[in-house]
Amino acid sequence: MTKAEIIEQIIARTGIEKPTVTVTVEAIMDVIKKSMIQGENIYLRGFGTFLLKKRAEKTGRNITKNTAIKIPAHMIPAFKPAKEFSGEIKAKVKVK
């Protein structure tokens, strides 16, 4: 599902005009992004948590030059679904 499809579904469910929904969805994504850049986790009860995970320093390989390179420790964004959300997915979504 794309952002445009999410916006269309919100419009269909609420009847709110498209420009208002678009600005709202963009604002939500912007708040989440800026909060995570500042090192904050976002907790949405019943949905899940947007959190930062630390990746340790490791040695990688440059295949074209066949040399070892150091990849420094860094933070990555992650999403951890809430128990209720995970349970619903396990119960209703079939494995293909």
pTM (predicted TM-score):
0.79
pLDDT by position in tens, the chain (length 96): 999 999 999 999 999 999 999 999 999 999 999 999 999 999 999 999 999 999 999 999 998 998 999 999 999 999 999 999 999 999 999 888
Q: Where are the beta strands (DSSP E) in 1-96?
A: 42-44, 48-55, 58-62, 67-71, 74-81
Domain that holds residue 21: 1-40
Alpha-carbon gap, residue 82 to 34, rounded angstroms: 22
Quick check: is 35 in a domain?
yes
pLDDT of residue 44: 96
Quick check: is 17 in a domain?
yes
Residue type at 35? S
Quick check: is 54 in a domain?
no
- Closest C-alpha to 75, from 53, 50, 49: 53
Residue 40 near residue 26 (C-beta atoms within 8 A): no
Quick check: is 62 in a domain?
no
Please give the span between the terminal C-alpha atoms of the chain, in angstroms, as a whole number.
18
| Domains: count for the chain | 1
pLDDT of residue 96: 80
